[in-house]
Structure 1
């Protein structure tokens, strides 16, 4: 049993940490107390031993300033339902980014593939290219892709992000540029520390993946992290906790040259096959 007691006003003063500026100021006077049970330790250990490699694809969009509601819905619907038109995509989430970002990105798309080969075929797929040409490019003035390989529990629900745990929540994306000297040892140590921390709070976090960006057409960021939170409250509790602040300050701040943190509410938009 782990208990977090977080004075929100004090936590929100640490502006050097990613995402704090995105947390609503009307919650600053709250003291959040959260009990987190880790569940069956034996089952958790068994899940850790059984892992499956997956490939994560992140696409950040800069929508046109005067994009209408219908244009936005059309673009997101086509992107979301593309999973039904081509093989290899095992999970999709997307939405409008909450708050402002450093680089003015407005929307985020997350896709999971079974392999790098499936991702390569996706980029070359005629249907996807048509979606970009007819529904994305006319409505956006910029986009960025980040791809990385990671591991998840070797089970149907975690791999395909299915089940009640994945129906709703907050999708958090963190992109990082590590200084070149830290790419191997210190960077991997920092990411491992973050991964281990997220695994301590299954009541807050459904899943976390991370890895090195292998998309050579977009080398602005060296690594990516995607965390699915169970709710906005869980999202706020984690990022205002002393545990997260300690990990970020000791492991990431000394070696991170640039970061981009965004999040969006998970609310599936695709209801029909286009």
Structure 2
């Protein structure tokens, strides 16, 4: 069956995929031009295998570590720190994915670098904080170059597909990792928060041509749960996809109507991913 190209002025239901083109994306990276303008591809058969995978979910545990590197850190020291953090995965059973990098754009709350790790269970994550090789990496190759850090941990689900669980394959070789931390007001914890996060999750799932994967959940790290109650990680396919999504009216509407009214504070950072930081050897 053929593929039908349409220009629409309002959102449609799945499966409809926005396309990065000159129609919607400026040549200089200025985001979406106009409100709700999309050029889309509508496939009658849809991506049926992806739909089946979305129905089958696998529980995972996400770990986010934000670092505050010293201002006088050298390029060699930074490379050493990131290399040791990346290779620490080989000393830990239960870690299924990792990405890390220098935070792009203006530093927020003085954080300069971010590390994302995925584990198969909470028990596997607990071993991270007790793992001797990892503790040695932190003591000898990370903390000497940093003056602060924060850890956020949460449980989530991903589609039950080995490439998406382990974040392997060509699609995960490049892209942008977007980390969003939110401290919801105590009175909103419950139905209001669940509704807001569901709206965000549904929005990301509407745009598979921009976003490879999104996870989110309640922070159960006892040392930081009061500072940030929830976390989310989105893997974008490219810098252009990242800019298109965050500048879109749909994301802005969800943010302003669902998230912002019940958030006490937020922290949003992103970093670029290259092949070194995505593959589990």
Task: Report the TM range for the smaller structure's normalisation.
Answer: 0.7 to 0.9
CA contact (8 A) 1:37 1:203 kept: no
TM-score (norm 1): 0.87
Rounded Cα–Cα distance in structure 2 between residues aligned with 1:64 and 1:38: 49
Counterpart position of 2:191 = 185
Question: Map of 1:1-274 to 2, 5 A cutoff?
Answer: 1-3=16-18, 27-28=29-30, 31=33, 35-37=39-41, 40-219=46-225, 220-269=227-276
Deviations 1:230-254 (A, max 9, x none): 0000000000101101111110111
SS at match of 2:148: strand
Deviates more, 1:42-51 or 1:96-105: 42-51
Counterpart position of 2:11 = none
Q: Any gaps of 5 or more consecutive residues in structure 2?
A: 1-15
> Deviation at 1:66?
0.6
Rounded Cα–Cα distance in structure 2 between residues aligned with 1:38 and 1:110: 34
CA contact (8 A) 1:58 1:145 kept: yes
SS at match of 2:261: coil
> Deviation at 1:270?
6.5
TM-score (norm 2): 0.85
Counterpart position of 1:11 = none
Change (3 A) 1:30 1:238: closer
Q: Any gaps of 5 or more consecutive residues in structure 1?
A: 9-25
Rounded Cα–Cα distance in structure 1 between residues aligned with 2:259 and 2:216: 14
CA contact (8 A) 1:150 1:210 kept: yes
SS at match of 1:127: helix
Name the count of aligned residue pairs: 255
> Deviation at 1:155?
1.2
> Deviation at 1:268?
4.4
Deviates more, 1:42-51 or 1:136-145: 42-51
Rounded Cα–Cα distance in structure 2 between residues aligned with 1:115 and 1:36: 38
Counterpart position of 1:17 = none
Aligned-residue RMSD, C-alpha: 2.2
CA contact (8 A) 1:54 1:151 kept: yes
> Deviation at 1:46?
1.2
